[in-house]
C-alpha cells in the first residue's frame, strides 16, 4: 500500500485479512479503496468517526466505465457518526 494510506483504512483491511469472512477476504484484491480524511486540520478535527456502507471502497469490476448498456453505478453510503457542529474558524 502507498505510504499515505490512512491508518483507519489499513486497520480495516488488516482486520478483514485476519478475521474476515471468506467472502470478504476474496474481495480484498479486487477493490478500489478510499477514505475521507478532511481537506484541512479543522475538517479532520471536527468530522468525527466515519462508517462506510457496505465497504470503504467499490469493486474493481465497475471500472473502466465504457458507457455500457445496463451499467449500474456503484454506491457507497457514508455515516458521519458524531460530527462537531457550529464551529467557527
Strands (E), 1-89: 31-33, 50-53, 57-59, 77-80
What is the domain count for the chain?
1
Does any domain span residue 76?
yes
Does any domain span residue 52?
yes
- pLDDT 10s digits, 26-73: 988 899 998 888 888 888 888 888 999 998 999 998 888 898 898 989
Does any domain span residue 39?
yes
Higher-confidence residue: 82 or 88?
82
Distance from C-alpha of 10 to C-alpha of 50, rounded to nearest angstrom = 15
Does any domain span residue 23?
yes
Does any domain span residue 1?
no
Half-sphere exposure of residue 63, counting CA atoms within 13 Å on the CB side? 8
Half-sphere exposure of residue 82, counting CA atoms within 13 Å on the CB side? 3
Domain of residue 40, residue span: 7-80
Q: Is 21 a residue whose pLDDT tops 80?
A: yes
Amino acid at each position: 500500500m502507498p505510504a499515505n494510506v490512512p491508518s483507519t483504512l489499513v486497520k480495516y483491511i488488516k482486520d478483514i485479512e485476519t478475521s474476515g469472512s471468506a467472502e470478504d477476504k476474496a474481495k480484498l484484491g479486487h477493490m478500489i479503496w478510499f477514505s475521507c480524511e478532511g481537506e484541512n486540520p479543522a475538517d479532520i478535527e471536527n468530522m468525527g468517526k466515519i462508517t462506510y456502507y457496505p465497504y470503504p471502497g467499490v469493486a474493481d469490476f465497475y471500472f473502466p466505465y465504457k458507457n455500457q448498456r445496463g451499467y449500474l453505478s456503484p454506491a457507497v453510503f457514508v455515516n458521519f457518526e458524531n460530527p462537531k457542529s457550529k464551529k467557527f474558524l
